[in-house]
Amino acid sequence: MGWTPVCKLDRLRAETVVRVHVAGLDLLVIWNDGDVVACDRACPHEQADLALGEVRAGRLFCPRHAASFDLRNGAINPGWPSPPLRLYPTWITGEHICVEAREQQARR
């Protein structure tokens, strides 16, 4: 239920971060050292575009203030007054990566 194919695995391995649009939401799909992660594209701190950030050592670094998010659970590094980065379930079927996202998930 609600799984949307968003890109091919080969493309994600080559590009590391792919911008996708699912159920009206702007998301990122990230290749994190062998794992696939889907998250909101907007930083939960002040809405910077995380597609311009950097993935390093299991974390996504925001390009505006350089806070970083743990790609296992979305937690921001200590000291930032911000909710965690919202993550979405992913599933790989054959060569395709699928994401489960619903519009109401972004409003919580």
Which of residues 9 and 75 has its CB atom nearest to ligand FES in the complex? 75
Q: Which one of 3-11, 28-36, 58-66, 96-104 is the stretch in contact with ligand FES (CB under 6 A)? A: 58-66
Q: Does 56 bind ligand FES (CB under 6 A)?
A: no
Residues 62, 53 contacting (CB under 8 angstroms):
yes
Q: Does 98 bind ligand FES (CB under 6 A)?
A: no
| Contacting residue, 3, 4, 11, 48, with ligand FES by CB under 6 A | 48
How far apart (Å, rounded) are the C-alpha atoms in residues 10 and 25?
23
Hey, what are 82's tokens? 């911000």
| Tokens 């995380």 -> residue | 50
Q: Which of 92, 72, 70 is nearest to 11 (CA)?
A: 92
**Where does this chain bind ligand FES (CB under 6 A)?**
43, 45-46, 48, 62, 64-65, 67
